[in-house]
Amino acid sequence: MSVSTPADKPICGIRAVIIDLDGTMLHTAQDLHAAVNRMRSDLSLAPLAIDTVISFVGKGIENLVRRALGVDFSPVVIERHFLQALTLFEKHYLDVNGEFATVFPGVHEGLQAMQAKGLRLACVTNKPAAFTLPLMKKTGLHDYFEIIYSGDSFAKKKPDPMQLLQVCAHFGLAPVEVIAIGDSISDTQAARAAGCKVLTVPYGYNHGQAVQDIDSDGIVSSLLQAAHLIST
């Protein structure tokens, strides 16, 4: 596997962009941290540090809940408590969704620049739709996107390429005409499997690992820099 370096060359022949949500457009760690610790409190477990919760983000809410339980429980005990914990987490996350989340610098400007170039935009996230759509509306991101696919839109989610391939099919584009932008190995693996190019941002969550250690077509400091590099 190759490692990623800063992107500095134009990426041509692109007609659409698929963008991840958590860690790429939105800093949602505070919301997730609050919901996880309220869930853990209900289960008489001690609170976790925010950096620990961040290291669990990226493969969907079910994975987040299992990892949060795994701090204290064996795999067998995790499964015994999982459904209760998931229900508690979803209840608390609905309460705090968007309360602490912020838009990363350059996101609005980058999306506007992409639209000005005539690029079609899709958001693909592993977050369930019940949380995704209200959050995107609350943070002013919803109306930029022609397509929004959530973690429960299809049978599979990132790192499986299903969501990305569905975007390509909806747009009527070949994967080589589509580029993905994300913050984690789940994003890059999905893009590679779909046959799309992929850029990464360095400020996201990536399961607690350095973004430089994953295979992408380059690291961009912001969506605005990505917009400057991408052309049709």
Tens digit of each residue's pLDDT (9 = 90 or more) over 175-230: 999 999 999 999 999 999 999 999 999 999 887 788 888 999 999 999 999 999 99
Answer yes or no: is pLDDT of 2 > 70.
Answer: no
- Residue 210: the pLDDT is 84
Smallest CA-to-CA distance from 164 within 172, 153, 155, 175 is with 175
- CB-based contacts of 73, cutoff 8 Å, min separation 6: 80, 81
- Residue 57: the pLDDT is 85
- Residue 4: the pLDDT is 79
Give the pLDDT confidence of 20-50 residue by residue, as tens digits. 999 999 999 999 999 999 999 999 999 999 9
Between 29-42 and 75-96, two packed helices, what is the crossing angle to 10 degrees? 120
Active site residues: 20
- Residue 207: the pLDDT is 74
Whole-angstrom distance, CA of residue 203 vs CA of residue 7 = 15
The model's pTM = 0.90
Answer yes or no: is pLDDT of 171 > 80.
Answer: yes
